[in-house]
């Protein structure tokens, strides 16, 4: 919704300045009249000027912000005062500016979710959607505390992934650097030697020479092709069909597909549990989770579940009918639906995936490391053989001729 910086006057004629969200200037005037204010002048605010300061905001900043805001709301402190206090305590200058502008929006009549939505670089869609759901039930503080727990879990996952990928990334980097040096520096210098030996070159040496010439002659085209492929995939992903296809492939990648699925099911159990505990009805909860689950295939399945529930179907039967959700999720939903404690059983599912996802990441990279080491060793052996065989053949011929 557009923002207007306005100047108004009250019944006594005193000037009042502020910022308010409204669709049009006429709507702004109507909103002000409801507060016994009369619009004098209004100037639209450009949204692109509001997003520049939302960069460089880390997850840890968002966790602290959410916890502080939840405490403020639970204590009954006006949210504008709470934001003012938080802005003074925040060390991140970018986030400090975002908080200041949000406070202006709130004082101008915007809701918290409207204020958050203006800064997508700081507050992701899931954050805004969950806060909006909390506003509809009057339990924003509960939503925020649940978000803190989930953000902390995401921080732990990111830390675990970083630790697990450091060594494999080093190995892959080493292989890339070694490949570049061999094909652009070493082989171009030794190729004349091989060609001057006058012996038939083995297949492995011919392959290495061909690859070296390919890199030398077409390196620019290879880089352009790689870059173009990345851009094409990103553009394709922006289409509904492309996103659906790529997310389907993610779920079926050997080894990694299992991890992608577990992360999506963890989001499902977390978000659905949070919304239900906050008093949001099941239909609205499924609608929100569909938008933020993070995988188009699973989102489509959740949409199918919602439609079946609207038509009168049972919740766990609707999940089972999609054929996509694991037995654990379906069984716990069935137990929760039968006992009237769906929020609690979804919490158990969340706890399971909270343990399972980090363990899966560690297992994947524990298996991946030996394969990378083996690949590097085989690569080095192939290079050594491609050098050794022509030299050996040449020496054998010289030795035979000397006899």
CB 108 within 8 A of CB 3: yes
What does the alpha-carbon distance between residue 96 and residue 98 come to, in Å, rounded to a whole number? 5
Work out the average pLDDT over 31-46: 76
Q: Given this model, what pLDDT does residue 3 score? A: 65
Q: Given this model, what pLDDT does residue 19 score? A: 66
Widest Cα–Cα separation across the chain: 119
CB 45 within 8 A of CB 68: no
Q: Given this model, what pLDDT does residue 321 score? A: 92
pTM to 2 decimal places = 0.68
For the ranges 3-7, 156-160, 268-272, the lowest mean pLDDT is seen at 3-7
- Rounded percentage of the chain residues whose pLDDT exceeds 70: 92
pLDDT-based confidence at 390, cuts 50/70/90? confident
Q: Which segment, 48-62, 337-351, 387-401, is predicted with the most confidence on average?
A: 337-351
What is the tens place of the pLDDT at every residue in 124-164? 777 887 888 788 878 888 888 888 887 887 788 778 778 77
What does the alpha-carbon distance between residue 82 and residue 70 come to, in Å, rounded to a whole number? 10
Work out the average pLDDT over 261-267: 87
pLDDT(50) > 70: no
What does the alpha-carbon distance between residue 376 and residue 373 come to, in Å, rounded to a whole number? 5
Q: Given this model, what pLDDT does residue 21 score? A: 65
Sign of CA dihedral 328, 334, 339, 340: positive
Q: Given this model, what pLDDT does residue 331 score? A: 92
What does the alpha-carbon distance between residue 22 and residue 306 come to, in Å, rounded to a whole number? 32
Return all residues near 248 (Cβ < 8 A) that are at least 6 apart.
296, 297
Q: Which segment, 48-52, 247-251, 376-380, is predicted with the most confidence on average?
A: 247-251
pLDDT(9) > 90: no
What is the tens place of the pLDDT at every residue in 201-226? 788 888 888 888 888 788 788 889 98
State the chain's mean pLDDT as an integer.
Answer: 82
What does the alpha-carbon distance between residue 113 and residue 79 come to, in Å, rounded to a whole number? 12
The tokens describing 19, both together, are 């910022």
Exposed e or buried b for every residue in 37-59, given b needs 16+ CB within 10 A? bebeebeebeeeebeebbeebee
What is the tens place of the pLDDT at every residue in 51-80? 444 455 788 888 888 888 888 888 888 888
51 DSSP assignment: S
Return all residues near 82 (Cβ < 8 A) that are at least 6 apart.
68, 69, 72, 73
What pairs with residue 3 in β-bridges? 21, 45
Tell me which of 10 and 336 has the higher pLDDT: 336
**DSSP H helices in 201-255:** 203-237, 240-252
What pairs with residue 44 in β-bridges? 4
CB 346 within 8 A of CB 333: yes
What does the alpha-carbon distance between residue 198 and residue 292 come to, in Å, rounded to a whole number? 65
Q: What is the rounded end-to-end Cα distance, in angstroms, of the chain? A: 92
What is the tens place of the pLDDT at every residue in 166-199? 877 888 888 788 877 877 777 777 777 776 766 7
pLDDT-based confidence at 322, cuts 50/70/90? very high
Q: Given this model, what pLDDT does residue 274 score? A: 80
- DSSP annotation string for 248-289: HHHHHSTTHHHHHHHHHHHHHHHHHHHHHHTT--HHHHHHHH
Collapse the DSSP code of 108 into the 3-class scheme (helix H, G, I; strand E, B; otherwise coil) and give the result: coil
pLDDT(47) > 50: no
What pairs with residue 39 in β-bridges? 8
Work out the average pLDDT over 252-280: 85
């Amino acid at each position: 919704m557009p923002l207007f910086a306005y100047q108004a006057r009250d019944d006594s004629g005193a000037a009042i300045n502020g910022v308010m969200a409204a669709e049009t200037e006429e709507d702004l005037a109507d909103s002000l009249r409801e507060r016994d204010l009369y619009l004098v002048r209004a100037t639209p605010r450009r949204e692109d000027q509001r997003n520049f300061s939302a960069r460089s905001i880390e997850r840890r900043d968002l966790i602290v912000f959410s916890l502080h805001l939840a405490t403020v709301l639970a204590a009954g402190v006006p949210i504008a005062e709470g934001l003012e206090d938080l802005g003074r305590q925040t060390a991140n200058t970018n986030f400090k500016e975002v908080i200041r502008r949000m406070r202006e929006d709130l004082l101008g009549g915007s809701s918290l979710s409207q204020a958050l939505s203006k800064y997508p670089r700081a507050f992701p869609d899931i954050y805004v959607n969950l806060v909006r759901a909390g506003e509809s039930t009057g339990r924003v503080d509960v939503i925020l505390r649940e978000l803190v727990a989930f953000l902390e879990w995401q921080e732990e996952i990111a830390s675990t992934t970083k630790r697990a990928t450091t060594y494999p990334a080093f190995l892959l980097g080493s292989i890339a650097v070694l490949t570049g040096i061999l094909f652009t520096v070493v082989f171009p210098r030794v190729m004349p030697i091989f060609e001057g030996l006058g012996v038939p070159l083995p297949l492995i040496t011919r392959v290495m020479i061909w690859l070296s010439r390919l890199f030398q002659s077409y390196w620019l085209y290879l880089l352009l092709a790689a870059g173009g492929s990345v851009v094409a995939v990103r553009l394709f992903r922006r289409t509904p069909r492309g996103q659906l296809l790529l997310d389907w492939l993610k779920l079926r990648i050997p080894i990694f597909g299992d991890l992608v699925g577990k992360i999506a099911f963890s989001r499902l159990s977390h978000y659905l549990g949070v919304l239900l505990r906050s008093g949001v009805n099941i239909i609205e909860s499924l609608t929100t989770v569909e938008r933020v689950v993070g995988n188009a295939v699973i989102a489509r399945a959740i949409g199918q579940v919602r439609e079946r529930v609207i038509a009168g179907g049972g919740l766990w039967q609707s999940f089972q009918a999609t054929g996509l959700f694991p037995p654990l999720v379906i069984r716990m939903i069935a137990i929760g639906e039968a006992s009237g404690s769906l929020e609690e059983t979804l919490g158990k599912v969340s706890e399971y995936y909270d343990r399972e996802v980090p363990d899966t990441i560690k297992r994947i990279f524990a298996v991946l490391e030996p394969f990378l080491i083996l690949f590097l060793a085989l690569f080095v052996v192939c290079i050594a053989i491609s050098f050794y065989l022509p030299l050996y053949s040449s020496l054998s011929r010289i030795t035979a001729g000397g006899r």
